[in-house]
Structure 1
Amino acid sequence: MSAIALDTPVRYTPAVEEVQPDEAATIAQLNETFDVVLDTTARDYGHAVRAVHAKAHAIIEGTLTIDADLPPELAQGLFSSPGEHKVLMRISTNPGDILDDAISLPRGMAIKVFDVDGERLPGAEGRTQDFIMVNGNVFQAKSADKFLGNLKLLASTTDKAEGGKKVLSAALRGVTSALGAVGVESATLNTLGGAPNVDPLGETYYSATPFRYGDHIAKFSLVPVAPGLKERTGAIIDTAGDRDAIRHTVRDELRSIAGEWEFRVQLARDLERQPVEDATVEWDEEEAPFIRVATIRAAPQDSWDDARVGEVNEHLRFSIWTGLAAHQPLGNINRARRDTYRHSADYRARVNGCPIHEPA
């Protein structure tokens, strides 16, 4: 651990955020663009699905155990006292349409922690804390207006022929592999279909964007530590002839694997080097290390139990703005996500005639 990593973590104040005057207009355009995706997929499927991460691959039930005797800077918010909480975990890929798994895209991990008490974020219902992560440690766009441009491109490809997407994905995987050989990773290429078609159980997931962590500022990660999960790190899933190969592979694996992941926190120590407003900047782990604050464990189970899948996919939403004020999302990208997540959930509720709710 470097000397920089031993410095005192940055204290949170509202001044760490720099709200831009055009953010409301950008958010309105984001919602309009998401509506293109939502309208198209609802028409195709006869049923509204999520605007992003529409295709789930597994729904896992587990327990989050918060570490005892955490130092003061880590004993914050949800993690301020040891204890156990039920969790639901949803593994997905990021488009708003439900594609053949041969079109390889970044993996997502959404976590809902139950029975969480404390001051809530504005509009946050219930007693849950949500964490939403992807298997990449930076966001694809610096700001919401830049993300809007990417989203318009993705919206224009919604409902287009899967055959062409498969060819493009295979070509982009080749480009990504070549870049990886020289130590370069492109979040944009991954988002367009160039991500390696890896087993999601072996992946490390990141919040990618920063959050308030009580008195401090942090990013989060979820790291597989069970031997059965670590064996799957980097494993490529064969999708030939099976459009739901990821679901089937994960389901088979989790019937016998006891899952265990470490939930880790990366505290910002220098806002110049670990900025709040630019989510494309990687926070160097030598300067700001990830440290475990909790463990999630899941017994072997059926990860595609019909009742559980139906409840999570149809009745629940995951949002970074569902949770404690102590874990307020920070930065331009996160501020934009507050309204767009709710917009997508409200659309699903309206079109499907099925209320979206937080568990009691």
Structure 2
Amino acid sequence: MSSEYVRYRDDLEQIQPGEAETMARLTDMMRGFSEAMNTRYRHAVRSVHSKGHGLLVGELEVYEGLPERLAQGLFARPGRYPVVMRFSTPPGDILPDTVSTPRGLALKIVGPEGAEMVDGHAGEVTQDFVFLNSPEFGQKDAAGFMKGQKPIQLTVNAPEEIKVAASLGARVADSLTGGKGKLSPMLRQLGGHPYTHPLGETFYTQLPHRWGDYVGKLSLAPVSAHLRRLKGQPIKVLGEIDALRDNIAAVIAQEGGEWELRVQLSVDEKKMPIEDASVLWDESLSPFLPVARIRIAAQDSARPNKLVYGDDRASFNPWHAQAAHRPLGNVMRARRAAYRMSADFRREHNDEPIPEPRSQSDLPEI
């Protein structure tokens, strides 16, 4: 494990030829998803991660005594901040959970006043991170990601029954691969993810952020014993429309939970690139190191007003960020316009404001 950490520099990012056009095309594709779902549901939903499986309200505590390389930005000093966590799955459709896709988690931290924010987020206090339950992004850049979305684009208006049947086929195919190999991420994205409990998963940003003077990726790992026991635990999904939501709610209502936020700092510009999102950063070179703990008291994660808040009144965007935690790389740059479009689309079509919270009082009650 190296002790030499890559220092942040502006030239770590390199704009690609044709990048602006690619990003415009990707945003148009995402708008098409939003328009199709709005027509179907008569209600605007996210372009992706439309179906929420629970909203948790709690607190993040930044650890004391962090070494300089970890004590950066929001985490530069000990503190406690309100948070909300939204569990979701990637499709833009709101489908039964038999269509089993990777598990997503979005985290919003309501930070202190006065921090320098990225352009477009000035005057706000929130810091968002978005995670999936795999450390690998799988595509090199936004162009590759857009290519991977083509099957979804071609089937966006297909009947639900066809999508359910295709998902079951993808799940069988993924089980035959043992969840390994180049096809597995695609099969899981198309509905072949195993029927496992979301609360047992470790989540990853997959893509890099600035970490103050350094560069890193983040993970969010369950640390409560009852959550760790859920790793890989199967849940009954067949015949259950909202199995993920119900299973999350049952656990959180009884015991709440705790997660640890960790950062993996880059130690090699070539082995841990910024612009090639397909490269998995080797944990033997630089492990994920703890910086904070999230505590969630026992609560009803599926209470209707919480679900409405998460689905309609909140926007989770990695560009809701302090300058010290600015998203980095081509895919993150592409997300900027796409995420903003998705929130604007919901705001305009639902006639629903989506303000950023400034304090605990702006969040749903526990």
Which interval holds the TM-score relative to the shorter structure? Answer: over 0.9
Could you say if the C-alpha distance between residues 175 and 252 of structure 1 is closer, same or farther in structure 2, counting changes exceeding 3 Å? Answer: same
| Among 118, 122, 136, the residue aligned to 1:121 | 118
Show CA shifts across 1:98-130 (max 9, x none): 011001100100000013341001001521100
SS at match of 1:194: coil
User: Do the aligned residues in 2 keep the contact of 1:94 with 1:106 (CA within 8 Å)?
Assistant: yes
| CA deviation after TM superposition for structure 1 residue 329, in Å | 0.5
**Contact 1:10/1:271 (<8 A) preserved:** yes
Number of the residue aligned with 2:12: 16
For residues 189-248 of structure 1, the C-alpha deviation after alignment (integer angstroms, 9 at most, x for no partner) is: 211112112111000000000110000000000001101111111012211222111111
Query: Which residues of 2 match residues 237-276 of structure 1 at below 5 A?
Result: 237-276=235-274
TM-score (normalised: structure 2): 0.94
1:77 aligns with 2:73: yes
Match of 1:86? 82
* 1:116–1:129 CA contact under 8 A, matched in 2: no
Deviations 1:129-187 (A, max 9, x none): 00100001111321111111122321222232222222222222222223236676732
Contact 1:65 1:84 (8 Å CA) reproduced: yes
Are 2:220 and 2:259, in contact at CA under 8 Å, matched by a contact in 1? yes
Match of 1:174?
Answer: 172
Stretches of structure 1 lacking an aligned partner (at least 5 in a row): none
Give the Cα separation in 1 of the matches to 2:119 and 2:235. Answer: 41
Segments of 5+ residues of structure 2 without an aligned counterpart are 359-366
Could you tell me how far apart the structure 2 residues matched to 1:20 and 1:273 are?
Answer: 19
1:96 aligns with 2:96: no
Are 2:129 and 1:131 equivalent residues in the alignment?
Answer: yes
Distance 1:187 1:290, change over 3 A: same
Partner amino acid for 1:277?
E
Matches within 5 A, 1:146-295: 146-180=144-178, 186-295=184-293
| Structure 1: distance between partners of 2:44 and 2:182 | 37
1:68 and 2:64 matched: yes
Q: Is 2:30 aligned against 1:34?
A: yes
Alpha-carbon distance change, 355 to 181 in structure 1, aligned in 2, over 3 angstroms: closer
* Separation in 1, partners of 2:283, 2:181: 17
Q: TM-score, normalised by structure 1?
A: 0.96
Q: Which amino acid aligns with 2:94?
A: I
Distance in 2 separating the partners of 1:82 and 1:257: 26
- 2:74 touches 2:111 (CA, 8 Å); kept in 1? no
Partners of 1:226 and 1:258 within 8 A in 2: no
Deviation at 1:337, TM superposition (A): 0.4
- Please say which of residues 48-57 and 176-185 is displaced more in the overlay: 176-185
Tell me if structure 1 keeps the 8 A contact 2:169–2:192.
Answer: yes
